[in-house]
């Protein structure tokens, strides 16, 4: 005689249909709340690099959107430092790794 585990099936009998519907709705809401990180193609990344270099050299304000904790956050100001070895930059006191950057724009003065 072999022991067969029914997995999660043994717990489904204690859930009411209303509970299952509500759990599915909550899961759907959570899936929609957390977006996927946009993919950046090499041409876009080249554009971002040139904007970052220009803003850093001239001291021009720029806005950077970066991906953190499943959402895009934004920071703007003057780029304080760029660390190519560590792969990050510092802007307005915020450390932003290059791999998290999803958008860069120079601000007109």
Domains of the chain by range and CATH?
42-106 (2.30.30)
Q: What is the pLDDT of residue 99?
A: 93
> Under a CB-based contact definition with an 8 Å cutoff, are residues 84 and 69 in contact?
no
- The pLDDT tens digits of the residues spanning 34-89 come to 667 788 899 999 999 999 999 999 999 999 999 988 788 999 999 999 999 999 99
Residue 91 confidence (pLDDT) above 80: yes
Interatomic CA distance for residues 63 and 55, integer angstroms? 10
**Lookup: tokens for 56:** 């850093």
Q: What is the pLDDT of residue 16?
A: 76
């Amino acid at each position: 005689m072999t022991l067969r585990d029914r997995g999660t099936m043994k717990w489904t009998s204690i859930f009411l249909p209303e509970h299952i519907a509500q759990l599915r709705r909550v899961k759907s809401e959570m899936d929609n709340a957390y977006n996927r990180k946009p993919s950046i193609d090499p041409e876009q990344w080249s554009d971002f690099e040139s904007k970052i270099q220009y803003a850093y050299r001239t001291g021009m304000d720029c806005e950077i959107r970066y991906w953190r904790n499943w959402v895009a956050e934004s920071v703007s100001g003057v780029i304080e430092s760029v660390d190519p070895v560590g792969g990050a930059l510092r802007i307005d006191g915020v450390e932003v790794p290059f791999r998290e950057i999803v958008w860069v724009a120079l601000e007109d003065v």
